[in-house]
Structure 1
Amino acid sequence: MSYLADLAELLREHGLPADRVEATVADLGSHLEESDGADPEAEFGPVEEFARELAPTGMQGPAAPEAHVETWRWTADTYVDEELLNRFGDEGWEVERVDALGRFVSHRDLERPQRWEYRRELVTRGREGLDERLAPDGWEACGNWIVYAWFKRPVAASLGPGAEISAPPGMPGRVRYFSRKFCVLTGVMVAVLVAAGLVVAVDDGDAGSGFGFAGGILAGALVPFAGVWSWQVWRSRR
């Protein structure tokens, strides 16, 4: 795929290590496959802009080894995201935002990494006044996704110099963190959908009607999700 090949070349030019380039491109390729071959430019935007966004701040080419900031994008389900945010925040990872794909865009200063803590809020009825209520305690908004908003604050606000990390661990080796509960719930939903299709097929005596029924339910469920996702994409590119 030329888009991913061009992206890999641009990331190398920006000074990203070869193993990071390979892992990033492989992850994006998997995402495109899971999206039924979606157009990469429509999914991620122009390749030059996307490469600049993925490359750590300060990496401009051969001088990259002097860069002291590293970036990492990862995602997790809502059963474990807050726990993981605080675990990784304790390792110095600061979330800048949540991108259109629902990933936490994070960075860490390798020279003077600081600990961060996080909290998640439900914003189904909007977030009027939420930022103002949390601000006095040092919380700052760092991302939104569908009905959730995430906030961060530096641990230094309470610990002072003790919040600095002397020897931060390496970058985590994964970019997706899905809990067992989430996987079981997803499996149950798929099983219920298949069972509903079989019941319809048996009642009608036509397997095609069962597949049509199940497909209709799935398509109907995806319509609102697709609408929210499109809004997130549009909002993230404003």
Structure 2
Amino acid sequence: MNTTDATNARYERDSYLIGLAERLRAHGLPADRVEATVTDLAAHLEEAGADDAEAEFGPADEFARQLVPAAGERAPAAPGDTVETWRWTADTYVDEELLNRFGDEGWEVERVDALGRFVSHRDLAQPQRWEYRRELVTRGREGLDERLAPDGWEACGTWVIYAWFKRPRAASLGPAARVESPPPAPRRTSFLSGKFYALLAVLAVAVVVAGVAVAVDDGEASSGIGFVVGLLAGAGAVAAVVWVLQTWRGRRP
């Protein structure tokens, strides 16, 4: 892409985001949430190297309606003196467990942002307990919301092939659902489990075994060594990107 094309692509992307922000404000989304949403989406486009925002997210009008709670649904609480916010991420081995642990401390997930982080808030004046569940949506989510709604579950975010749902525990606990002495917000923003690291170790062993197999098959040790070095270099690059991304996520406000 030459300089002119890159400039035009950037202009079209910025125009899309500006138009989306106007539509979100028109739907009644608070200004601070509009800014946070557009910032997340811009970061996603940069990471994905996507020049066509409309191709990535769809028409701005339709996308804005998806991002704003529909009429009759409870909108996220606006930040204020009595509300604190927190963004965090976790791998799929521990996310559901952590969601329920933090939900029991009064954290309500508003959405999952473009970087896969749980955007949460807690009302310090009247903190309430929440519970969560995760569903696999590899074939879409047709009928899923309707199936879970009778039990009080409300969608609160999607990421790739997963959808998360929340519901207040007040329906089952009554007054006990109130958190009397909420603990401080966790200092960490990234939670990677031992199973996640174990998976990386298993992949590393698989790479070595594959290299040995190549060497035995070719009768040349150098073939296996070269194969292993190449795979490890590729795996190391991927691991480095994952580590940098997780660190960057953890440092973002």
Residue 160 of structure 1 and its aligned partner are, at CA, apart by 2.6
Change (3 A) 1:213 1:190: closer
Residues 209 and 164 from structure 1, CA distance in 2 versus in 1: closer, same or farther, beyond 3 angstroms? Answer: closer
> Which whole-Å CA distance do the structure 2 matches of 1:215 and 1:140 have between them?
43
Deviation at 1:179, TM superposition (A): 2.0
CA deviations over 1:178-231 (Å, ceiling 9, x no partner)? 222222122111222244245546745244454335557x59x99xxxxxxxxx
| Residue of structure 2 equivalent to 1:126 | 140
Distance 1:214-1:170 versus aligned 2 partners, 3 A rule: closer
Aligned residue pairs: how many?
165
Distance 1:166 1:123, change over 3 A: same
CA distance 1:117–1:209, change in 2 (3 Å): closer
Per-residue CA deviation, residues 33-57 of structure 1 (Å, 9 max, x unaligned), is xxxxxx999249xxxxxxxxxxx95
| Structure-2 separation of matches of 1:103 and 1:144 | 10
Maintained 8 Å contact 1:201/1:210:
no
2: CA distance, partners of 1:194 / 1:152: 43
Quote the residue 1:74 is aligned against: 88
Q: Which stretches in structure 1 are left out of the alignment for 5+ residues?
A: 1-38, 45-55, 60-66, 223-238
Q: Work out whether 1:42 is the aligned partner of 2:42.
A: no
Q: How does 1:19-98 map to 2 (within 5 A)?
A: 42-43=46-47, 57-58=78-79, 67-98=81-112
Q: Which residue in the other structure is 2:117 paired with?
A: 103
Q: 1:185 aligns with which of 186, 196, 199?
A: 199
1:117 equivalent in alignment to 2:121: no
Distance 1:40 1:116 in 2: 28
Question: Does the Cα contact within 8 Å between 1:201 and 1:208 map onto a contact in 2?
Answer: no
Which secondary structure does the structure 1 equivalent of 2:185 belong to? coil
Contact 1:200/1:210 (8 A) holds in 2? no
State the TM-score, normalized to the length of structure 1.
0.60
Aligned to 1:100, the other structure's residue is in SS state coil
TM-score by length of 2: 0.56
Report sequence identity in percent: 66
Structure with higher Rg: it is: 2
